[in-house]
Structure 1
């Protein structure tokens, strides 16, 4: 029984309004998900960047620290006092790390006087008794590796890495020290592809700034704990912070790398850079939504006209419901109906019937290695090969599920089915190329 025109119009208008509201809710949800996605992508990118920088810095510090430890251990050998200077240098510094950015290792006695220098056999008189790293090791036996603040050393800004030299009874004998030049950090940061406003900061564990890009000499050597308006708890180890940092007023997302290294790496990206594309998309989608609301009445009138074509659309939908969207073959539902019908017919008339079950070999490994898009292309190629091999009108080729295909061959015995199967196998083998050849079983 047909509804009156007025009631139908009201229902269509109500449906249109509900659709607009629902679509608006979906779009809002999509926009929120897009924003979260942009944020998650930016966080992952920053974490990867911080991880790479931290790994490089930590590797070089460990390498240089091994050289310092080697010197400390060899100085404890009893026979070290009896050897000549060239032999002493060979023993102490034979395995010392050498690189463009590493300074020469030096040994200072308990009074801070330079006694051994890896760069020369006859070092000039020099005292480091007043340096922080010397006093730290003298007063704290358990310090271990100590990294100084940025300082001027032999005409260049460096970080001094040092270790305590102790007697067997534990009393202080001196300090072994080396340096990493600032050119190392400049070279490391120079290799990064940073965008406008991105920052990379390297801190000591006490939050003293070791290096920062973009470079700001006013910040180098400063302790961020003393910056007014900044709470160090905002960015714990391995944490993330969104907002204004302690150095400038640009809101950023900051990521701090979790590491056991004595230096901490923090990377930042402006929030405008992270959400700029999202804001553009949000404005575009908002404009589209306003247009959709304006067109709601027009769509409603079109829906009234389209009611007459409903039967045709339903017929088309039924056809689509029996076809696999990816491969164009019959789907499992259509195959089940066909095999049931053909089985009854074969039983009734005592006719042969054959079934081929085809499986793409190692598909999961292929999918994991090359991605789902490549996997879909592989399945489509296999489907084309099957279609080219199965040409009889009564045959039914279908995607059975996942990487499995089925071919129903009514009226064909096993020998004929084997020939069809071999044809399919060879076509797939000839179609695939490259290092990873596709095969089917």
Structure 2
């Protein structure tokens, strides 16, 4: 037997294996759900970490460009201030050139610095005072000639005439005459290779992209470099307005050039029309997460499947054990010859019905049925025939006693007991007489059919009925039925006798 309360739980589980299996599957599904939520949280964390990293990279990139722009602007302002000094203006041209432009010649990526007149003609500059280029068609000249509202102007990317078409950008400031009229510009040319080198030093994954873009949508530099077949102006892109209208930000979009889904982080370079863009590919960001997801997912599914299998096996094992226990209990409470309940089961039924009787105002009747002269029957026909006779009698009793709560049991030997809940004395007598008549009619039916399988015999039956107040105990009730049986025997057998009025409840 199982110990309590574990034993009771095991018995309940054995009687409801499908509920146990369903609960096991629900638990396994819960574990899978928790694993899924954990993986989703890990995915969000990976994306958030990538965003923070990209934001830091964009900030560093923006800071580097800003320092370069500021340094170049300071050089421009220093050049303009020096040009206004009379001492500088009266210097010998070669000396003045060396004073104003020699420091710039040693600066990496600053590939040109110069001063023009009001017509755009180069007056002097780095790295030679003999150049005679005219820049009147350049945007960095035109904006200053047309307006004095611009301070530092950063040009679009252009191909430098003085250096064989190398991609460059110019930073320019207006130079005014004493009356405020346009006198020319001072400019610094920065090689676009500077921006490309900055981007080359950044690692944002195998399919990630870093870029410098102007607010008008033109591409300044990109890593990896964009193929010549693709447009270098992204002003028509649906996502580009996000960059233009915000100082910094973050969004996810599919690239219009190669279709890769990327996480775009951008930051405006302060005081410039330049935007630093860092865009790692989502697949690169989630590569480690996908490996983890596969490992956790496969492991969780395998463990959940194994758990479900074990739960189902355990549930059915407990069911088989419960069924075996029920079968064992049934065998211990069943008479092996007749298939009726045995004496042990009868005692339990009687006690239960007696307890129920004490809780309500009903009746409980007991019949004692005994085969007449059964010893002589066995002596005459043999015990095998006697066993057949007892089976025949049991079947006849069951034919007459068929209500759900009724109980028929073999009391011992050739004696049977019938328990009739909610049956008064008159009803008990009718059932008893019906059993006796059923047995007699079976002989007549057998003779008419010419196939009597059992030698005829008769029964005597004693009846007793109790109520809540009388008799005092269940034992007294069964004793009254037993006494009535002996009265039927003394009356000549093959008859029914009820317990005396003294034994009957009023």
TM-score, normalised by the number of residues in structure 1: 0.62
Counterpart selection for 1:191 from 177, 201, 212: 201
Counterpart selection for 2:124 from 99, 116, 125: 116
CA deviations over 1:41-60 (Å, ceiling 9, x no partner): 21122222222222222211
Q: Secondary structure at the match of 1:207?
A: coil
The verdict on how the C-alpha distance between 1:231 and 1:294 changes in structure 2, with shifts beyond 3 A counting, is closer
8 A contact 1:151–1:157 mirrored in 2 = yes
Matched, 1:254 2:289: no
Name the counterpart of 2:62.
54
Matched, 1:290 2:301: yes
TM-score, normalised by the number of residues in structure 2: 0.54
Equivalent residues in 2 for 1:345-356, closer than 5 Å: none
Superposed displacement of residue 222, structure 1? 3.4
Any stretches of 5+ residues in structure 1 without a counterpart?
Answer: 305-441
Runs of 4+ in 1 over 6 A off after TM superposition: 301-304
Equivalent residues in 2 for 1:28-427, closer than 5 Å: 28-93=36-101, 96=104, 98-120=106-128, 122-153=129-160, 154=162, 155=164, 156-216=166-226, 218=228, 222-227=232-237, 230-235=238-243, 236-262=246-272, 263-300=274-311
8 A contact 2:196–2:222 mirrored in 1 = no
Name the counterpart of 2:399.
none
Q: Secondary structure at the match of 1:126?
A: coil
CA deviations over 1:328-348 (Å, ceiling 9, x no partner): xxxxxxxxxxxxxxxxxxxxx
8 A contact 1:208–1:221 mirrored in 2 = no
8 A contact 1:67–1:95 mirrored in 2 = no
CA deviations over 1:191-240 (Å, ceiling 9, x no partner): 3334321111101232321111111263899331134xx24234443111
Largest Rg, 1 or 2: 2
Rounded Cα–Cα distance in structure 1 between residues aligned with 2:229 and 2:249: 22
Name the counterpart of 2:499.
none
CA deviations over 1:216-265 (Å, ceiling 9, x no partner): 263899331134xx242344431112121344322111110244141211
Rounded Cα–Cα distance in structure 2 between residues aligned with 1:225 and 1:297: 57
The verdict on how the C-alpha distance between 1:217 and 1:114 changes in structure 2, with shifts beyond 3 A counting, is farther
8 A contact 1:212–1:220 mirrored in 2 = no
Equivalent residues in 2 for 1:13-28, closer than 5 Å: 13=21, 16-28=24-36
Q: Secondary structure at the match of 1:149?
A: coil
The verdict on how the C-alpha distance between 1:197 and 1:297 changes in structure 2, with shifts beyond 3 A counting, is closer
Range moving further from structure 2, 276-285 or 131-140 = 276-285
CA deviations over 1:368-405 (Å, ceiling 9, x no partner): xxxxxxxxxxxxxxxxxxxxxxxxxxxxxxxxxxxxxx
Superposed displacement of residue 18, structure 1? 4.1
The verdict on how the C-alpha distance between 1:27 and 1:217 changes in structure 2, with shifts beyond 3 A counting, is closer
Superposed displacement of residue 103, structure 1? 1.4
Name the counterpart of 1:326.
none
The verdict on how the C-alpha distance between 1:297 and 1:151 changes in structure 2, with shifts beyond 3 A counting, is closer
8 A contact 1:224–1:246 mirrored in 2 = no
Equivalent residues in 2 for 1:1-20, closer than 5 Å: 1-2=4-5, 3=8, 5-9=10-14, 10=16, 13=21, 16-20=24-28
Any stretches of 5+ residues in structure 2 without a counterpart?
Answer: 316-506
8 A contact 1:64–1:96 mirrored in 2 = no
The verdict on how the C-alpha distance between 1:178 and 1:294 changes in structure 2, with shifts beyond 3 A counting, is same
CA deviations over 1:44-99 (Å, ceiling 9, x no partner): 22222222222222211211111111111222234443222234235534664842
Q: CA RMSD in A?
A: 2.8
8 A contact 1:63–1:97 mirrored in 2 = no
The verdict on how the C-alpha distance between 1:259 and 1:177 changes in structure 2, with shifts beyond 3 A counting, is closer
Superposed displacement of residue 21, structure 1? 3.0
Q: Secondary structure at the match of 2:112?
A: coil
Name the counterpart of 1:438.
none
Q: Secondary structure at the match of 1:226?
A: coil
Range moving further from structure 2, 235-244 or 158-167 = 235-244
The verdict on how the C-alpha distance between 1:61 and 1:281 changes in structure 2, with shifts beyond 3 A counting, is same
